[in-house]
Amino acid sequence: MLATLRKAGSLARNASAGQKRFLSIHEYQSMGLLNSYHIPTPKSVPAKSPEEAYDVAKNFGTDQLVIKAQVLAGGRGKGKFDNGLQGGVHMVSSPEQAKDYASKMIGAKLITKQTGAAGRICNAVMLAERRQPKHEYYVAVLNDRASNGPVLVASAQGGMNIEEVAAKDPEAIITTSIPLQGLDKATALSVAEKLGFQGSAKDEAADIFINLYKIFKDKDATQIEINPLAETTDGAVLCMDAKFGFDDNADFRQKDVFALRDVSQEEPSEVEAAKANLNFIKLDGNVGCLVNGAGLAMATMDVLSLHGGQPANFLDVGGGATPETVKKAFELLLADPNVKCIFINIFGGIMRCDYIAEGVIKATKELGLTIPLVVRLKGTKEDEAKKMIADSGLKIIAFDGLDDAAERAVQLATQ
């Protein structure tokens, strides 16, 4: 159970850091999606300029509002903007106050525990009505490996770190498997009752659970996390905050969802890599890796770590790489100032080693490579590839063994 919750929490963290393979959307977009499935939330309206924030607040219908920076990262309330403004969530009571906060948030970078020191640009804010919770709950729908299907995860201890709740009090977590046909009303009511909902609130909570799964299934979601789900002092049951993750492999049939993607919240190098059909994730080390196949890429990173090195990235060029895509991969690696050595590890099955060699030679010449380059090529067209490298006259250090190659790459990166 705890592993399931950790997986759920890690999705949100990875999405915010850019190291992800799941689409994440902004809070105001999540609220709109929830409302489209008749799931109640506080009234929420986005604004993309201080003037727009002023107009939204002026015409909202109440002066008791909250303004939230729209940045794909957790911990916004405790974050700090690079211009000195403390906190990405503030109470506002007038249009003028909304405009003032928006002017300090929009265009600035919010730094939280999840963004790292670089922060994330804030391009919009969301103004929401203040609703006072009487009690806060946690609800999530996600895929669970243990049960081999979707589950509803719920707790009466919401509004806090659910992983800590699971660690300290596992009995506080209610996990319910969901059959393919969906969550039936009787099961949803049972979960609501276990959480402590009573009367009409129990029925409202059950309907929310049912509709959350409908979104999960209809939109190819990988995670829906509501924290908190609140029963307010006036008796309403509302989703106060929402985090969504969507399967990137479903983008071809979820055009409306993927149109919400905000690339300004992602690592620029990863966005550029995706355009070239390269699987790239930026890391913090100094050995740039170019590998074919996700499994070999992971093994390569492990071997580098075993020899005391730190990979600067995960880069899988796949089985259909061409000399042109190899060159693009080099450009991505060289754009990182932390990369002190490049390690190429290719096993030629579907991929031809001579294609890789051609791309390596081309990139080395055209990009004016000055850092050490270690290459290990095995498999299809291996001999031809090695001859191409030997005849190139370039300073490319070739190895047959993975351990030897990785050890040498680590040495060169630390010299």
Instruction: Report the pLDDT averaged over residues 274-285.
Output: 84
Distances (CA, A) of 89 to 69, 112, 368: 6, 12, 47
Q: Write down which residue in 66, 97, 130 finishes a domain.
A: 130
Q: Is 84 in the same domain as 169? A: no
Q: Is 175 in the same domain as 279? A: no
Instruction: Tell me the CATH number at 106.
Output: 3.30.1490.20
Q: Which two tokens mark 45?
A: 């309206």
DSSP state, 86? B
Cis peptide before 40 (omega within 30 of 0): no
Report how many domains make up the chain. Answer: 3
Q: pLDDT tens-digit profile of 174-197?
A: 999 999 889 999 999 999 999 999
Distances (CA, A) of 134 to 153, 201, 238, 393: 21, 12, 11, 73
Strands across the sheet containing 279-282:
279-282, 313-316, 287-291, 341-348, 373-379, 396-399
Alpha carbons 124 and 53: distance in angstroms, whole number? 9
Instruction: Report the pLDDT averaged over residues 265-285.
Output: 81
Q: Which two tokens mark 412?
A: 């060169």
Query: What pTM value is reported for the model?
Result: 0.75
Q: Is 320 in the same domain as 359? A: yes
| Ranges assigned E (strand) in 93-148 | 109-111, 120-121, 125-129, 133-144
Residue in 23, 128, 19 with CA at minimum distance from that of residue 70: 128
* Residue 111: band (very low, low, confident or very high) from pLDDT cuts 50, 70, 90: very high
- pLDDT for residue 346: 84
Q: Is 189 in the same domain as 233? A: yes
Task: Judge whether 195 lies within some domain.
Answer: yes
Alpha carbons 212 and 188: distance in angstroms, whole number? 11
Q: Is 78 in the same domain as 153? A: no
More confident of the two residues 12 and 146: 146
Instruction: Report the pLDDT averaged over residues 320-328.
Output: 77
Mean pLDDT taken over the chain = 89
Give the domain extent around 232.
133-256
Positions marked active-site: 138, 225
Q: Is 139 in the same domain as 116? A: no
Q: Cα–Cα–Cα angle for 325, 330, 331, nearest 5°?
A: 95
Alpha carbons 108 and 247: distance in angstroms, whole number? 29
Q: Is 237 in the same domain as 294? A: no
DSSP state, 21? S
Q: Is residue 122 over pLDDT 90?
A: yes
- pLDDT for residue 362: 85
Q: Is residue 262 over pLDDT 50?
A: yes
The string of DSSP letters for 209-274 reads: HHHHHHHHHHTTEEEEEEEEEEEETTS-EEE--EEEEEEGGGTTT-HHHHTT--GGGS-HHHHHHH
Q: Is 115 in the same domain as 145? A: no
Instruction: Report the pLDDT averaged over residues 305-333.
Output: 85
Q: Is residue 270 over pLDDT 60?
A: yes
* Residue 278: band (very low, low, confident or very high) from pLDDT cuts 50, 70, 90: confident
Instruction: Report the pLDDT averaged over residues 86-91.
Output: 96
Instruction: Report the pLDDT averaged over residues 313-338.
Output: 83
Q: Is 251 in the same domain as 296? A: no
Q: Is residue 407 over pLDDT 80?
A: yes
Q: Write down which residue in 223, 256, 289 finishes a domain.
A: 256
Top-ranked range on mean pLDDT: pick from 31-45, 113-127, 166-180, 289-303: 31-45
- pLDDT for residue 114: 85
240: amino acid identity, one letter: M
Q: Is 334 in the same domain as 374? A: yes
Q: Is 297 in the same domain as 162? A: no
**Chain CA centroid to CA 19, Å:** 6
Task: Judge whether 337 lies within some domain.
Answer: yes
pLDDT over 70, % of the chain: 94
Q: Which two tokens mark 37?
A: 């499935």
Q: Write down which residue in 99, 130, 161 finishes a domain.
A: 130
Q: Is 152 in the same domain as 63? A: no
